[in-house]
Copies of this chain bind each other. A is one copy, B any other.
Amino acid sequence: MELKDIIYGYGEAAKKASLKLAMASTKEKNEVLKLMAKKLRENREEIKIENKKDMEAGKENNLSKALLDRLLLDDERIEGMVIGVEKIASLTDPVGEIITGWTTEEGIKIRKVKVPIGVIGMIYESRPNVTADAAALALKSGNSIILRGGKEAINSNKVIAKILRKALEESNLEKDIINLIQTTERDAVKFLVQMTEYMDVIIPRGGKGLIRAISSMAKVPVIYHDRGLCHTYIDGNVDLEMAYGICINAKVQRPGVCNAMETLLVNKNIADKFLPTMIDKFKKEGVEIRGCEKTREIVSDIKKATIEDWGTEYLDLILSIKIVENTEEAINHINIYGSGHSEAIITNDYNNSNKFSLGVDASTVYTNASTRFTDGAMFGFGAEIGISTNKLHARGPVGLNELTTYKYIVTGDGQKR
């Protein structure tokens, strides 16, 4: 069979299964999720055997230590994966929620109701626990899923998907709700993201290369989890201790993630007072500082920031600092260089907080808190499949709610136009 036909076969099966799944009750879905958790736990040894194959192949192919670590499934991680599935079973089902409802002049009753999207395509890199995670989130929100994992994790992904499908087979739900692409051929991704006949949305999770490849090929809508070039702006009237604490947290607690701070903007009226201590604290945490001219007039022994720095997501212990005139200049800088992810103002000024919240074009805008809070778990979503940098449909953390769309259910008693 041709690769294209194979992928379209997944598509057709997933679509068909999704139409039945849309009518399943929350109880049916939760019971399967619990059964999946049970089976993953019971088959731990088989998972470890398959994972060992991936680990050995990875070592032979000289994967980096970091990649090998992401690939590894030990007892603890398998248990974490199982608990994740159980957690999803315990979350509120968004499907069927009435968003709003009204009666029109003609007397027809309109309800706007949350319904599953349909078929999700999930494309991800090495971590094999994503297989169970994404499948469980899709199922709970009433969607079929086609999973395309990284080739490094193919054996681990296969065994996990096999166990999940076994649970579906033992239930009243269709096993084709969960589909793992078994081949590692590259073109499979192309067919998947162009299969508008069956796919409703693509969710990629991976590095820049993956994102770029998908955006150049995709015909199906994509929920991107792209760059996070986040700023923190220190306004003229602030609680200095709070500002130090939030900035250290936003930069240092986990510098490699998308909601970490990359550029610090400082109001000129507080720069003299704020920056020497702040930079000192950063240096103690091993952060390399790159400052604008004015910053270097206050603290001289730091590197010079170039225009490239304002547009760079370091994902590392590096920070650029710029002194600005006022809140307007901060907003303007952020709207030019930011990636629309998470932005913060630290201020005691009511008007500047409002101005910043309204004027900054980003998924999440903070006053007096760390940008590190942009996260499904921190938001209380219970679980997340990523953080969207799109503006349409889903913006910010993507949880169960964001995996639904809506339909209008209209009832009448014979109305005609």
Q: Give the distance in Å from the alpha carbon of A138 to the alpha carbon of B24 in the complex.
A: 39
Q: Which of A158-195 contact B (CB under 8 A)?
A: none
Whether B410 pairs with A200 at a CB distance below 8 angstroms is: no
Whether B117 pairs with A372 at a CB distance below 8 angstroms is: no
Which listed residue (B245, B357, B369, B414) contacts A239, Cβ 8 A? B414
Number of A interface residues, CB 8 Å? 64
A115 to chain B, nearest CB (A): 8
Residue A392 CB within 8 A of the other chain: yes
Residue A352 CB within 8 A of the other chain: no
Q: Which of A347-399 contact B (CB under 8 A)?
A: 353, 355, 357-359, 361-370, 372-374, 378-380, 390-393, 395-396
Q: Give the distance in Å from the alpha carbon of A106 to the alpha carbon of B370 in the complex.
A: 12
| A221-B221, A362-B407 known; A373 vs B108 contact (CB < 8 Å) | yes
Whether B412 pairs with A366 at a CB distance below 8 angstroms is: yes
| A358-B22, A361-B118 known; A391 vs B405 contact (CB < 8 Å) | yes
A234 to chain B, nearest CB (A): 13
Residue A90 CB within 8 A of the other chain: no
Whether B23 pairs with A359 at a CB distance below 8 angstroms is: yes
Which listed residue (B391, B396, B405, B411) contacts A118, Cβ 8 A? B391
Q: How many chain copies? A: 2
A361 / chain B contacts, CB cutoff of 8 Å:
19, 22, 118, 407
A213 / chain B contacts, CB cutoff of 8 Å:
none
| A373-B417, A416-B246 known; A407 vs B367 contact (CB < 8 Å) | no
Whether A365 pairs with B410 at a CB distance below 8 angstroms is: yes
Whether B23 pairs with A355 at a CB distance below 8 angstroms is: yes
Whether A108 pairs with B369 at a CB distance below 8 angstroms is: yes
Whether A407 pairs with B364 at a CB distance below 8 angstroms is: yes
Which listed residue (B239, B364, B378) contacts A104, Cβ 8 A? B378
Whether B253 pairs with A416 at a CB distance below 8 angstroms is: yes
Q: Give the distance in Å from the alpha carbon of A391 to the alpha carbon of B245 in the complex.
A: 43
Whether A369 pairs with B414 at a CB distance below 8 angstroms is: yes
| A357 to chain B: closest residue by CB | B409
Q: Give the distance in Å from the alpha carbon of A189 to the alpha carbon of B227 in the complex.
A: 28
Residue A326 CB within 8 A of the other chain: no
Which listed residue (B390, B407, B415) contacts A370, Cβ 8 A? B415
A382 to chain B, nearest CB (A): 12
Residue A413 CB within 8 A of the other chain: yes
Whether B407 pairs with A395 at a CB distance below 8 angstroms is: yes
Interface string of A63-81 (1 = CB under 8 A from B): 0000000000000000000
Q: Give the distance in Å from the alpha carbon of A395 to the alpha carbon of B99 in the complex.
A: 14
Q: Give the distance in Å from the alpha carbon of A385 to the alpha carbon of B104 in the complex.
A: 20
Residue A49 CB within 8 A of the other chain: no
Q: Which of A55-105 contact B (CB under 8 A)?
A: 102, 104-105
Q: Which of A134-163 contact B (CB under 8 A)?
A: none
Q: Give the distance in Å from the alpha carbon of A392 to the alpha carbon of B102 in the complex.
A: 22
Q: Give the distance in Å from the alpha carbon of A396 to the alpha carbon of B417 in the complex.
A: 18
Q: Give the distance in Å from the alpha carbon of A110 to the alpha carbon of B373 in the complex.
A: 11
A363 / chain B contacts, CB cutoff of 8 Å:
407-408
Residue A3 CB within 8 A of the other chain: no
A374 / chain B contacts, CB cutoff of 8 Å:
408
Q: Give the 8 A-B CB pairs with smallest separation, nearest first.
A: A369-B412, A249-B416, A242-B414, A393-B393, A392-B393, A364-B408, A369-B415, A372-B417
A-B contact pairs, 11 of them (CB 8 A): A22-B358, A108-B369, A117-B392, A242-B413, A248-B416, A249-B416, A357-B409, A372-B417, A373-B417, A392-B392, A396-B407
